Amino acid sequence: MEVERWHGPSSDEPRKGWPVSAIDADSAAGAGLLSRRYRSLTVGALILISLVAFEYVAVATAMPTVARALDGLALYAAAFGGTLAAGVVSMVVSGGWSDVRGPAVPLRVGVAVFAAGLLLAGVAPVMWVLVVGRIVQGLGGGLISVALYVVVGHTLPEELRARFFGLLAGAWLLPSIAGPLVAGLLVEQLSWRWVFLATAVLAVPSLVLVNPSLRGLSWPAAPERRRSRRPLWALGAAAGALLLHYGGQQTGWVPVVLVVLGLGALVVFAPMLLPAGTFQGRVGLPSVVALRGIAGAAASAAEVFIPLMLSRERGLSPTTAGLVLATSAVGWMAGSWLQGRMSSQQRVPVVGAVLLAAGVAGVTATVVPVVPLLLCIAGLTLLSLGMGLMYPVLSLLTLRWSAPQEQGVNSSALQLSESLFTTTVLAVTGALFAAWLVWSPVTAYFAGFGVASVLTLLAVAVAVRVR
CATH of the domain at 116: 1.20.1250.20
CB 244 within 8 A of CB 429: no
Residues 373 and 451 reside in one and the same domain: yes
Residues 386 and 269 reside in one and the same domain: no
Q: Is 328 domain-assigned?
A: yes
Residues 145 and 183 reside in one and the same domain: yes
Amino acid 21: pLDDT: 44
Identify the helix (H) or strand (E) that includes residue 331.
helix 318-339
CB 85 within 8 A of CB 238: yes
Q: Which domain holds residue 410?
A: 275-467
Residues 286 and 412 reside in one and the same domain: yes
Locate the DSSP E strands across 371-458: none
For the chain of 467 residues, list the mean pLDDT of each consecutive stretch of 10: 38 39 44 74 81 77 80 75 82 85 87 91 89 90 87 80 78 72 77 85 80 69 60 84 72 73 85 88 90 92 81 72 73 80 76 94 88 88 91 87 83 88 82 77 85 93 87
Residues 187 and 292 reside in one and the same domain: no
- Which residues are CB-contacts of 412 (< 8 A; sequence separation ≥ 6)? 91, 92, 94, 95, 96, 146, 273
Cα gap 336→388, rounded to integer Å: 5
Q: What interhelical angle do 230-247 and 253-273 show, nearest 10?
A: 150
Residues 338 and 199 reside in one and the same domain: no
Residues 189 and 73 reside in one and the same domain: yes
Residues 334 and 466 reside in one and the same domain: yes
Amino acid 457: pLDDT: 94
Q: Is 8 domain-assigned?
A: no
Cα gap 123→120, rounded to integer Å: 6
Angle at 100 between CA 25 and CA 293, to 5 degrees: 85
CB 408 within 8 A of CB 227: no
Amino acid 427: pLDDT: 78
Amino acid 359: pLDDT: 94
Residues 251 and 377 reside in one and the same domain: no
Q: Is 262 domain-assigned?
A: yes
Cα gap 273→280, rounded to integer Å: 15
Residue 77 CA, chain-centre distance (Å), reads: 20
Q: What is the CA radius of gyration of the chain?
A: 22
Residues 262 and 125 reside in one and the same domain: no
**Interval 59-71: pLDDT, tens:** 777 777 888 888 8
pTM of the model: 0.79
Q: What is the mean pLDDT of the chain?
A: 79
Q: Is 16 domain-assigned?
A: no
Cα gap 21→405, rounded to integer Å: 10
Q: Is 21 domain-assigned?
A: no
Residues 339 and 205 reside in one and the same domain: no
| Cα atoms found within 13 Å of the Cα of residue 95, Cβ hemisphere only | 26
Q: Is 180 domain-assigned?
A: yes
Q: Is 191 helix (H, G, I), strand (E, B) or coil?
A: coil
Q: Which of 226, 244, 273 is the last residue of a domain?
A: 273
Residues 123 and 185 reside in one and the same domain: yes
- Which residues are CB-contacts of 188 (< 8 A; sequence separation ≥ 6)? none
Domain tally for the chain? 3
Amino acid 295: pLDDT: 94
